[in-house]
Chains A and B, each alone.
Chain A
Amino acid sequence: MLELIRQPWPWYVAGALIGLTVPALLLLGNKHFGISSSLRHICAACLPANIPFFKYNWRREVWNLFFVVGVLFGGLIATQLLSNPDPIVVSEKTVQDLEALHVVVDNELMPASIFSFNNLFSLKGLVFFVLGGFLVGFGTRYAGGCTSGHSIMGLSTLQWPSLVATCCFMAGGFAMVHLVFPWLMKLF
């Protein structure tokens, strides 16, 4: 059994469990699934700076912060106790594409050639951590949600603005990988 849990989980198991988060949160206490809100609550709690957007009763939304701290612990538990002993299997075509961009595909979930502290004060670090993170934080809040709030919660409740947002999430990702990466990766 533990052997089976240690293997990478198939998409239908993961998808079903993630989908069940929607009714779980609704029925546990009328909470709406959405993770990027936590970033707003952190701003409201730590640095509201008199900005109207952060002047609300964040204490009432504190469940969201409990949830994301749980996600962090979940990552810790899965990695420490249930991790897959075998190297990650990446599609052959993606490996070839990434090699052409000089990204070394190694055995971990994230490529060490990008996501390491050595790159922190380099142009690579500026792009992958600072710019990337900024786009995620700014973009999700401007969009009014992320993959969880729009793509899962929004589509589950049949909201067409969420469908528009989901299509634009994908369009942005495709544009980055196919249009920007070939040019961007030459800089490093």
Chain B
Amino acid sequence: MQHTTEEFVTNPLVLEHPIECEAPNDQLTRETPIASNIKYMVVGIIFGIVFVKAEIISWYRIQEMFRLHSFHMYGVIGTAVVVGMLSVWLIKKFKVRTLQGEQVVFHKKEFHWGNIIGATMFGLGWAITGACPGPLFAQIGSGFLVVLVTFISAIAGTWVYGLVRERLPH
């Protein structure tokens, strides 16, 4: 990437940009640690309110989904995908630029075996905990403090993946 920071220059072992990270930051304009990032917290707050108000954080809604007893979760995810697709299509078609005037960057995802093995493992965990990573945060915020244990365990899972990564099929 063109964007280099002091850290990258001083320590070449530090990857400037984790390419596998599915939520990369592609902004080239320099950002300040707090002021530039507050707006993402605001988006997060709205997102968290939606999670609670549409009961997406509910363990019961996840059970209903996997038992095919309710359309709710399918409706939520389906609508989100359609709205997301339309938005991305519009951004590409009209070459909409970011607030900083930059071109919006898209990444192609390469298939690897984790898309099957890892995804199935996550599915198993999703049905147990009733939460994907987003709702984990919203559940804790909603006062289900025991979910902090689930959250710490999820961090541990991510850490162990990093540890054994080279030995797993990709």
Contacts and interface: CB of A to CB of B under 8 A. Distances in A.
A60 B50 contact: no
Interface in A130-187: 130-162, 164-178, 180-181
B15 A140 contact: no
Contact of A78 (B33, B44, B48, B115): B48
Contacts of A22: 83-84, 87-88
Contacts of A127: 128
Contacts of A71: 44-45, 47-48, 51, 134, 137-138, 141
Given A11-B79, A49-B159, A66-B38, 5 more contacts: A22-B83, A70-B45, A132-B125, A162-B115, A171-B123
Interface of A: 5, 8-40, 42-43, 47, 49, 51, 53-57, 59-64, 66-79, 82-84, 88, 90-91, 93-94, 97-98, 105, 109-111, 114-117, 119-120, 125, 127-162, 164-178, 180-181
Interface of B: 3, 5, 7-8, 13-18, 20-29, 31, 33, 36-60, 62-67, 69-73, 75-88, 90-91, 96-100, 102, 104-112, 114-134, 136-147, 149-163, 165, 168
